[in-house]
Structures are given as structure tokens and as C-alpha cells.
Amino acid sequence: MQHASGRLEKLESLRGFAAAYVMVGHVASMYFHGEGRWTLIFRLAVEAVMLFFLLSGFVIRYSSPPGTHTFRAYFVKRFRRIYPLYLIALAVSYGCAALADGRWRPDGFGWGRLLGNLFMLQDAEVTNPGVWVAAFINPVFWSLSYEWWFYMMYYPLGEWKAREETKNWVVFGVSAAATIAFQIEPNWPCMVLAMLAIWWSGGQLAAEYMESGDVTFGRQWKQLGRLLVIAGLWSIPQWTTEGARANLGAYPMWPLRCYVGVVVMLTVGIAWKRAGFVGFRWTFGLFTIFAPISYAVYVFHFPPLDLLEEPGLSRWPAAGLAVFVVGTMAWSYLMEVRLQRWINGKTKGWLGRVREGALGSSRGQEVGRR
């Protein structure tokens, strides 16, 4: 994104906030074991990931508008954005788990599980039934499979020569049908499709912004209504499943939280924009510094947490926490800023020719790191 002009700086700030929030949430639950009232405010990691999805949908639509990229260029950009750091994160996750467990096959290791994660088929087995492949050691990997398949579904939907509103209704229909199908027979593909409408909503914000430079309730009310309908469908198991609300972080409460959280975030966000984002600079704006390393912070922060329980560090909790924070930030900078920039330069020739008149070539530079 373009920091100089600040055109999308607020999205950058929100992305940095979401990454920092998830990291602190895991520190609160693992390092401090959820003790202390202060940890309560960091139990909304599900909603933070949904914020990631909204921002991702916005950025992909903004950087790759329909008709501006060949599939080759689009695929290469998405692959190099996700996979290089993800592959390193898989190795780091294994290494940290092996050190913490003191054996070569730590908990969560399995060749079939690793293969499924390499092909982005993973999900959080503690959250949903019907999971095909559990996340490989690092639980945050579950969201990357959703993100990847949202990318792959966006291109054919974007290139489809149909009215925008027709596409909106198709996505709504697919997500609503998948929601019902999942409740009948839980399975991973249906859950991914059920979440598509959330990611797509971020793209609809971008579509309006690109046309008018603004985001309004007048343009977004239909999308909010469609999200509310799907939220209503996800509320059905709350009343038909015994003990459904016992675990707020697992099915069937988990997907309901996703949709309700997104509706709240979109409503507050649009209203805040109408009010000129009063106070944004001194709240979410403080997290802009994390934006350039947000993806790396997200995928790399969890593995070292197991090592903080080692005797040498557990005797000095403050020192261990300081080492964790500084180490995570430094490693994330090396990975996402230095290494990713080098990878982008080396793979530039793989993009092929950009279509004539493509807006995405300039916008892709603005949001290239996303």
C-alpha cells in the first residue's frame, strides 16, 4: 500500500492492529494462561481474523480489478505472497515444537498432515467438525487455507462477464447454501464456501471506493443485509444443538461469531468513516508500524511460545517475554520486508505481460506487499 500518500493507510493500520492483537491474544492465553482480567479483552481472535479477511478482500479487489491481470500474473502474485513465508513458517513451527517436546516427532507432526497443509487443505480441528486435515503444529495456519481458496475463487468470479450485483447474489447464494449443507453434514469445503461472503464483502467496499472514493451505507446496505441473513442461518444450531453455546470458540458458535462480528465491524467502520474517523490516529493508527510485517508476525509468532516454558526462560518471565517480542519483530522484518522484497524482484519476470490498459499494474505496486 502507498504509505507516502496515505490513500489506504487506515487499512494498513487495521492490518497491523489485527496481527498485533492475535499475537498478544496468544501470549495472554499461553504465557499467562488466561489469568488476570486484562486477558479478557484479547479473546476476540476470531473477529480479528475476520478483519484480516475483510481487508484481504478489499486489497485484492483494489490491486487486481477484473480484467486487469492474466491468470498467470494473478496466480504468481498470490503464490509468492503466501507460500514462501508459509513454507518457512512450517519449518520453524516444526523446529520449535521439536525443541520444546525434545523429540523428532512432536505433537501435531504427521506426513499426511504436512502434505495436506502444503496443498492448503487445513483447518482448526478444535474449532470445526468435518475437518479434512488439521493445521500442522501451528494453529494459525487454518486461516491461510481459507485465504488461498478465496484468492482462487476471486479470479473466475471477477472475470465473469456479469453485473456486479449478480455476482453479489451468486456469492451470497453459495455461502448460504454451504451454511445449510454444513449443518446437515459438516465438511471442510462447505465451511470455506460459507465464509466466502465475508471475504467478498471486503471486495465490495473496494469496488465502491474505486468508483467514488467513498464507502457508504447507501451502497453497502444490501451486502450488510445478506450477511445478516447468513448470520441468521448460523444461529439455527444454537437452538437445535444441545450445549451449543458452551464453547464460544468452537462450532456452532464460531461461525455465528464470524458473521455477527463482520456485520458489527462493517457497520461501525462505515459510520466511523462518515464521522471522519475521529480519533483513529491515536487508536488504530498507532499500529501502522506493524503493517509491513503483519503477515510474518501472524505466521511466526506462535511457534516460539512453547519455548518460553523452558526452565531457562521460565525463571525470568519478563526477560523471556522481551526476547520473544524483540525476536519476533526482528525475524518478521527480515522475512516480510527483506526476503519478500528479494523474492518479488527475482520472480518479476514470471508475471508475463500485463493486459493493455491494466489499472492493476500501478495499484499492484501500492498494495504489492499484501
Banded pLDDT at 7 (limits 50, 70, 90): low
- Give the Cβ contact number of residue 107 at 10 Å: 10
Inside any domain, residue 93: yes
pLDDT tops 80 at residue 24: yes
For helices 253-274 and 188-212, the axis angle rounded to 10 degrees is 10
DSSP-based helix, strand, coil % in the chain, nearest 5: 75, 0, 25
pLDDT score recorded for residue 29: 87
pLDDT, greater one: 61 or 313: 61
Inside any domain, residue 148: no
Average pLDDT over residues 109-126: 95
pLDDT score recorded for residue 352: 76
Average pLDDT over residues 144-157: 98
pLDDT tops 70 at residue 243: no
Average pLDDT over residues 267-273: 96
- Cα dist. 338→13, 325, 333, 342 in Å? 20, 19, 7, 6
Name the DSSP letter for residue 47: H
pLDDT tops 50 at residue 128: yes
Average pLDDT over residues 152-171: 96
Q: Are 194 and 175 in contact (CB under 8 A)?
A: yes
pLDDT, greater one: 320 or 345: 345
Banded pLDDT at 245 (limits 50, 70, 90): low
Name the DSSP letter for residue 293: G
Inside any domain, residue 143: no
Q: How far apart are the first and last CA of the chain?
A: 8
Q: Are 335 and 296 in contact (CB under 8 A)?
A: yes
- Domain of 351 in residue numbering reads as 9-107+158-366
Q: Structurally, how many domains does the chain consist of?
A: 1
Banded pLDDT at 360 (limits 50, 70, 90): very low
- How many alpha carbons fall within 13 Å on the CB side of residue 319? 7
Inside any domain, residue 37: yes
Inside any domain, residue 223: yes
Using alpha carbons, select from 86, 95, 126, 94 the residue that is nearest to residue 110. Answer: 94
Percent of the chain topping pLDDT 70: 89
Inside any domain, residue 126: no
pLDDT, greater one: 219 or 31: 219
pLDDT tops 80 at residue 364: no
Using alpha carbons, select from 307, 317, 308 the residue that is nearest to residue 98. Answer: 307
Mean pLDDT, the chain, rounded, equals 89
Percent of the chain topping pLDDT 90: 74
Q: Are 22 and 48 in contact (CB under 8 A)?
A: yes
Using alpha carbons, select from 288, 227, 214 the residue that is nearest to residue 255. Answer: 227
Inside any domain, residue 358: yes
H-state helical runs in 241-316: 253-274, 294-300, 303-307, 311-314
pLDDT tops 60 at residue 361: no
Banded pLDDT at 316 (limits 50, 70, 90): low
pLDDT, greater one: 153 or 322: 153
Inside any domain, residue 99: yes
pLDDT score recorded for residue 8: 82
pLDDT tops 70 at residue 273: yes
Banded pLDDT at 355 (limits 50, 70, 90): low
pLDDT score recorded for residue 326: 94
pLDDT score recorded for residue 143: 97
pLDDT tops 50 at residue 370: no
